[in-house]
Amino acid sequence: DYAKEHLLQLQEKAELIAGRMLRFSVFYRNQHKEYFQHVRMHCGNVMKPSLKDNSGSHGSPTSGMLHGIFFSCNTEFNTGQPPQDSPYGRYRFQIPAQRLFNPNTNLYFADFYCMYTAYHYVVLVLAPKGSAGDHFCRERLPQLDIACNKFLTCCAEDGELVYRHAQDSILEVIYTEPVDLGLGVLGEISGHQLMSLSTANAKKDPSCKTCNISVGR
């Protein structure tokens, strides 16, 4: 597995292409209708963290180790809203950003990869301070300053929490704790299901100069 110093090298590479920061207000999670029906009927309306798959960098210390729930936060630059398309299903759960990300949350950098395309993905972990996920990450991942980093920020401005995400990377945000569907809104998207952009068990392009580091054996 990558040691912290290797992840810091990846983080530096990711920072080079992160781009400017855009405001956003919700995290969202797309899934199939059956997923949300299962959560409602069998899980007490609560999404449970599941084990992260082996997508991304081969040496990522989170693969097959960290439990979490994947969320997105990227917006369309012209609307400021989440895109209407998704690779993960036509149903979307949206939750106000402050429910998952606030001064009581720690933020960690976990991975940077691409899948033989021009898109680059940055994996971040949000873990409530003192949680099991937080302890796992603190030992293995570089911690980011929530108010000042190149990927995802939470800042107090005029007495309100303001959220921004990097424009030029696709952020995959892993939240380490259960999330009650009652904290957000579930709806159907109007766009297409773009299967080609799915990163489930995605294999990283080992030849990409942008997102690979050389790790001495």
Residue 24 placed within a domain? yes
Is residue 206 one of the residues assigned to a domain?
A: no
On whether residue 202 sits in a domain, the answer given is no
Count: domains in the chain: 1
Query: How far apart are alpha carbons 130 and 201 in whole angstroms?
Result: 29
Residue 206 has pLDDT above 50, yes or no: yes
CA distances for 60 relative to 4, 26, 53, 133, 144, angstroms: 10, 27, 11, 15, 17
Query: In sequence order, what are the beta bridge partners of 161?
Result: 156
Amino acid residing at 182: G
Q: Are 164 and 152 in contact (CB under 8 A)?
A: yes
Q: Write down the pTM of the prediction.
A: 0.92
Q: What are phi and psi of 6, to 5 degrees?
A: -70, -40
Residue 212 lies in a domain: no
Which residues constitute the domain of residue 92? 4-197
Give the confidence band of 217 by pLDDT, cuts at 50, 70, 90. very low
Residue 192 pLDDT more than 70? no
Strands 121-128, 170-175: pairing kind:
parallel
Distance CA 60, CA 53 (A): 11
Higher pLDDT, 148 or 5: 148
Decide: helix, strand or coil at residue 46.
strand
State the average pLDDT for the chain.
89
205 within some domain: no
Q: Is the pLDDT of residue 11 over 90?
A: yes
Residue 196 pLDDT level (bands cut at 50, 70, 90)? low
- The verdict on residue 207 lying in a domain is no
Choose from 114-123, 138-147, 191-200 the range with maximum mean pLDDT.
138-147
Quick check: 160 pLDDT over 90? yes
> For residues 155 and 168, is the Cβ–Cβ distance under 8 A?
no
Of residues 94 and 117, which shows the higher confidence score?
94
Percentage of residues in the chain with pLDDT exceeding 70?
A: 93
Average pLDDT for 156-169: 95
pLDDT band at 202 (very low <50, low <70, confident <90, very high): low
- Band (190; pLDDT cuts 50, 70, 90): confident
Which H or E run contains 100? helix 97-100
Specify if 216 maps to a domain. no
Handedness of CA 198, 204, 208, 212 (dihedral sign): positive
* pLDDT, tens digit, 9 for 90 and up, residues 34-89: 999 999 999 999 999 998 877 777 777 787 789 999 999 998 877 878 888 777 77
* Domain presence at residue 25: yes
